[in-house]
């Protein structure tokens, strides 16, 4: 006989209680979602009574739903979970399943003949229960409801009492009429579930008995905070290495995760797009079409970006990090030539953007992407491991004390460091050691008051998510107000003193017209921290599109690889000894001012065996040798033959020979005609 009571489980079921306690113990990083759920469950309110919980496969939706169930039971609320995979997708089967959960007698259910009667009975009982007890109706795996979605939205949900809290969970957010209707928007509270941050991962691992910092950082880097991957990696690690607790390879784990995600991709054409975007950092329809060398149709692209593991960002869309790594690695093994072709197409896409005259003034973002593809594994480890770097703020009176404390802490806590880097192309791992003495070099010549008086914008501070200072940069703009300082202070003085007078004159521009930048330091507390490292790397490469950048960092092997991979030139015959008195430390320069940008870009694509076939051949520049181009550029700037010779370390006779050759190739008679011809051609 139907007793009118909702079955919610008995507290004497001790095993179930212990399982719930353990599950709750390992639930981390979802405090905001839990707080909102409890507020709606206990206090309520007319707005946001439909919680739309969504996120990609394995992100922990079901785990969080379980916690919501436990919280509901604790306040004597009924939690009715309807998983779309547990019943046939008809209104009658939906109502039958729900009535069973409500404890309605099966005998009476079998006596109902009309389908509409099931719906009316469900509404009647739910309204009756909602009078005396709080109710939560949870619909999980909502993307599999199919045609049932329309019935639920139009016929079932509107008839429920507003006091009933509704939870709709799935891989994708509610879309279509759910969003276009102001009424539904009023009722729906979006609750996206993302990957865990570092501190939540650390908390989870510590609760799992893993407390070694090195191990925690390795697992964090390997899982990127994806909850299911984290759980599987930890269980595999603990089972297979219970004594040494060494991190296992985890190949099977990642194959399992990818297989879960790829259940969404049944179409071969869509699968090809997923494999292609696994090679890309960001993508949009234009880039994807260029890389594949054919037009990607809009409907297929819309299908692609609708997948749960694709995320919208400022400049387009991105594939989930784990998905990109796993599929990209598999594609490289299976089709290495195709992978290489896709990568080179990416290089040429950004090359075409940066060589387009109409884009020259807006290539900062394209420049950053360009360095991802032309840089080696060190560049990608330093600049592209974290999508969102830490914020940088300018030194000012309000944060002055924090900056001084940061420097004091760095001075007092010098230590050796091991920088582990991973080459995603080969799977190799590298370790770069930084000695205690070398860790002091980046802050050795940093004097806040001195730099602040020189230019208040020079020093910038990096903050971690907890608000603590975790890094400091000092990047000096080159102009008339800073050049004397650069000539007389370490570590810049040796380089600038080596420049001839006409080069220094060229750099003495007004303050509002910056000639370039000298990177005095980029210092961080922990190079092993991915977000800190990314912020440090991006703070450097974001400068490169400015045209002229000089730096003299500590002579560490990974820093040398970093600068050379970006196309910086190591300055010949000039070094400084400002970190210690014995070690000659090189300078690196990247000069992309004027036509040098084209030369730089050509040099970099040539290192990949690429040539710009689209470059116009009638501009005349292709007729000149590299040395002739250098002579012409200096002549256009107003240099005399003597100054050109000094700048290029050649004789005046050689300068005249080069000019004679240019006159002949361009059919001009004198320097004035050559300058006019140059300006027209470029």
The string of pLDDT tens digits covering residues 630-654 is 899 898 888 999 999 888 889 999 9
Here the tokens at position 649 are: 């370390």
* 246 secondary structure, DSSP code: P
Name the 3-class secondary structure at 316: strand
**Rounded-to-integer distance, Cα 406 and Cα 459, Å:** 13
**Rounded-to-integer distance, Cα 644 and Cα 94, Å:** 84
With a cut of 70, say whether residue 283 has pLDDT above it. yes
Nearest CA to 250 out of 276, 277, 221 is that of 221
Fold of 392-608: Aminopeptidase (3.40.630)
Nearest CA to 461 out of 548, 557, 525 is that of 525
**Rounded-to-integer distance, Cα 47 and Cα 184, Å:** 10
CATH of 626-680, one of 3.30.930.10, 1.10.10.10, 2.20.25.90, 3.30.465.10: 1.10.10.10
User: Beta strand 135-140 with 78-83: parallel, antiparallel or unpaired?
Assistant: parallel
**Rounded-to-integer distance, Cα 373 and Cα 360, Å:** 19
User: Beta strand 50-54 with 165-170: parallel, antiparallel or unpaired?
Assistant: parallel
Instruction: Kindly state the average pLDDT of the residues 23-35.
Output: 85
Name the 3-class secondary structure at 575: strand
Nearest CA to 91 out of 112, 106, 72 is that of 112
With a cut of 70, say whether residue 92 has pLDDT above it. yes
Here the tokens at position 116 are: 């509409």
Distances (CA, A) of 377 to 364, 380, 566, 570: 22, 5, 11, 20
Name the 3-class secondary structure at 314: coil
Give CA angle at 472 (469, 475), nearest 5°: 155
Side-chain half-sphere of 289: how many Cα atoms within 13 Å? Answer: 10
With a cut of 80, say whether residue 553 has pLDDT above it. yes
**Rounded-to-integer distance, Cα 101 and Cα 139, Å:** 13
What does the pLDDT read at residue 518?
A: 98
Within 156-212, residue ranges assigned H as helices are: 177-180, 182-187, 198-207
What crossing angle do the helices spanning 652-666 and 671-681 adopt, rounded to 10°?
A: 60
What does the pLDDT read at residue 16?
A: 63
Work out the pLDDT band at 207, boundaries 50, 70, 90.
Answer: confident
Distances (CA, A) of 195 to 111, 327, 604: 48, 19, 36
Work out the pLDDT band at 499, boundaries 50, 70, 90.
Answer: very high
Note the pLDDT tens digit of each residue in 555-606: 999 999 999 999 999 999 999 999 998 899 999 999 998 888 888 999 999 9
With a cut of 70, say whether residue 619 has pLDDT above it. no
Instruction: Kindly state the average pLDDT of the residues 20-42.
Output: 85
Here the tokens at position 83 are: 């998983």
**Rounded-to-integer distance, Cα 414 and Cα 407, Å:** 11
Average pLDDT, the chain: 85
Rg (CA), the chain: 32
Work out the pLDDT band at 165, boundaries 50, 70, 90.
Answer: very high
**Rounded-to-integer distance, Cα 290 and Cα 659, Å:** 41
If you write DSSP's letter for every residue of 98-142 in order, what string do you get?
A: HHHHTT--HHHHTT---HHHHHHHHHHHHHHHHHHS-EEEEEESG
**Rounded-to-integer distance, Cα 411 and Cα 403, Å:** 13
What does the pLDDT read at residue 304?
A: 92
CA-based torsion, 265, 266, 267, 271: positive or negative: positive
Note the pLDDT tens digit of each residue in 327-386: 888 888 888 999 999 999 999 999 988 887 665 555 567 788 899 999 998 998 888 876
Q: What residue spans in the chain does CATH classification 3.40.630 cover?
A: 392-608
Q: What residue spans in the chain does CATH classification 1.10.10.10 cover?
A: 626-680
More confident position, 658 or 14: 658
Within 294-446, residue ranges assigned H as helices are: 298-305, 321-334, 336-354, 364-374, 377-383, 400-412
Count of beta carbons in the 10 Å neighbourhood of residue 285: 18
Name the 3-class secondary structure at 394: strand
**Rounded-to-integer distance, Cα 541 and Cα 532, Å:** 15
Work out the pLDDT band at 46, boundaries 50, 70, 90.
Answer: low
Give the H or E element holding residue 495. Answer: helix 493-497
Fold of 15-192: Rossmann fold (3.40.50)
Work out the pLDDT band at 387, boundaries 50, 70, 90.
Answer: low
**Do residues 250 and 222 lie in contact, with contact meaning Cβ atoms separated by under 8 Å?**
yes
Cα 554 to chain centroid distance, Å, stands at 27
**Rounded-to-integer distance, Cα 439 and Cα 50, Å:** 53
Q: What residue spans in the chain does CATH classification 3.40.50.300 cover?
A: 15-192
**Rounded-to-integer distance, Cα 603 and Cα 623, Å:** 17
With a cut of 70, say whether residue 7 has pLDDT above it. no
What does the pLDDT read at residue 320?
A: 82
């Amino acid at each position: 006989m139907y007793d009118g009571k909702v079955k919610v489980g008995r507290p004497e079921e001790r095993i179930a209680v212990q399982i719930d306690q353990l599950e709750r113990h390992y639930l981390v990083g979802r405090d905001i979602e839990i707080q909102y759920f409890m507020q709606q469950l206990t206090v309520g309110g007319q707005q946001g009574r439909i919680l739309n919980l969504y996120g990609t496969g394995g992100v922990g939706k079901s785990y969080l739903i379980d916690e919501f169930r436990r919280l509901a039971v604790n306040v004597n609320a009924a939690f009715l979970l309807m998983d779309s995979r547990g019943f046939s997708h008809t209104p009658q089967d939906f109502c039958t399943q729900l009535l069973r959960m409500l404890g309605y007698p099966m005998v009476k259910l079998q006596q109902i003949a009309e389908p509409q009667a099931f719906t009316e009975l469900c509404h009647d009982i739910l309204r009756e229960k909602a009078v005396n007890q709080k109710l939560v109706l949870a619909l999980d795996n909502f993307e599999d409801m199919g045609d049932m979605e329309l019935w639920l939205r139009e016929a079932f949900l509107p008839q429920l009492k507003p006091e009933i809290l509704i939870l709709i969970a799935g891989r994708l957010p509610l879309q279509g009429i759910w969003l276009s209707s102001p009424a539904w928007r009023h009722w729906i509270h979006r609750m996206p579930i993302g990957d865990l941050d570092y501190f939540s991962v650390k908390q989870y691992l510590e609760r799992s008995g893993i407390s070694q910092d090195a191990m925690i950082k390795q697992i964090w880097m390997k899982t990127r905070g994806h909850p299911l991957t984290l759980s599987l990696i930890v269980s595999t690690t603990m089972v297979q290495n219970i004594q040494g607790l060494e991190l296992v390879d985890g190949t099977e784990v990642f194959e399992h995760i990818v297989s879960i995600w790829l259940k969404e991709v049944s179409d071969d054409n869509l699968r090809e797009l997923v494999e292609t975007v696994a090679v890309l950092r960001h993508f949009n329809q234009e880039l994807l079409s260029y890389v594949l060398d054919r037009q990607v149709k809009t409907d297929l692209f819309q299908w692609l970006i609708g997948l749960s593991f694709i995320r919208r960002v400022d400049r387009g869309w991105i594939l989930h990090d784990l998905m990109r790594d796993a599929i990209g690695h598999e594609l490289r093994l299976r089709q290495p030539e195709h992978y290489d072709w896709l990568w080179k197409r990416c290089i040429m896409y950004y090359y075409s953007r940066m060589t387009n005259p109409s884009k020259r003034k807006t290539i900062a973002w394209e420049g950053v992407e360009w360095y991802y593809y032309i840089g080696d594994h060190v560049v990608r480890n330093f600049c592209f491991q974290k999508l969102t770097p830490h914020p940088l703020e300018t030194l000012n009176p309000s944060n002055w004390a924090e900056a001084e404390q940061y420097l004091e802490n760095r001075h007092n806590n010098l230590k050796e460091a091991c920088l582990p880097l991973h080459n995603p192309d080969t799977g190799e791992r590298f370790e770069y050691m930084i000695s205690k003495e070398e860790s002091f070099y980046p802050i050795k010549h940093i004097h806040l008051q001195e730099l602040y008086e020189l230019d208040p914008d020079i020093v910038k501070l990096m903050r971690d998510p907890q608000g603590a200072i975790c890094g400091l940069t000092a990047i000096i703009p080159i102009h008339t107000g800073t050049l004397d300082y650069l000539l007389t202070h370490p570590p810049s003085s040796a380089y600038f003193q080596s420049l001839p007078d006409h080069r220094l004159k060229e750099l003495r521009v007004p303050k509002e017209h910056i000639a370039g930048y000298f990177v005095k330091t980029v210092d961080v507390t922990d190079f092993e921290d991915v977000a800190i490292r990314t912020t440090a790397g991006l703070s450097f490469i974001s400068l490169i599109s400015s045209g002229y950048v000089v730096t003299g960092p500590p002579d560490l092997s990974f820093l040398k690889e970093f600068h050379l991979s970006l196309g910086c030139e190591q300055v010949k015959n000039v070094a400084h000894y400002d970190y210690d008195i014995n070690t000659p430390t090189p300078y690196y320069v990247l000069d992309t001012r004027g036509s040098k940008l084209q030369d730089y870009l050509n040099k970099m694509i040539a290192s990949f065996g690429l040539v710009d076939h689209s470059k116009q051949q009638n501009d005349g520049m292709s007729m000149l040798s590299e040395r002739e181009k250098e002579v012409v550029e200096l002549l256009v700037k107003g240099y005399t033959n003597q100054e050109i010779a000094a700048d290029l370390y050649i004789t005046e006779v050689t300068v005249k020979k080069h000019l004679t050759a240019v006159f002949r190739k361009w059919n001009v008679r004198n320097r004035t005609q050559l300058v006019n011809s140059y300006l027209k051609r470029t």
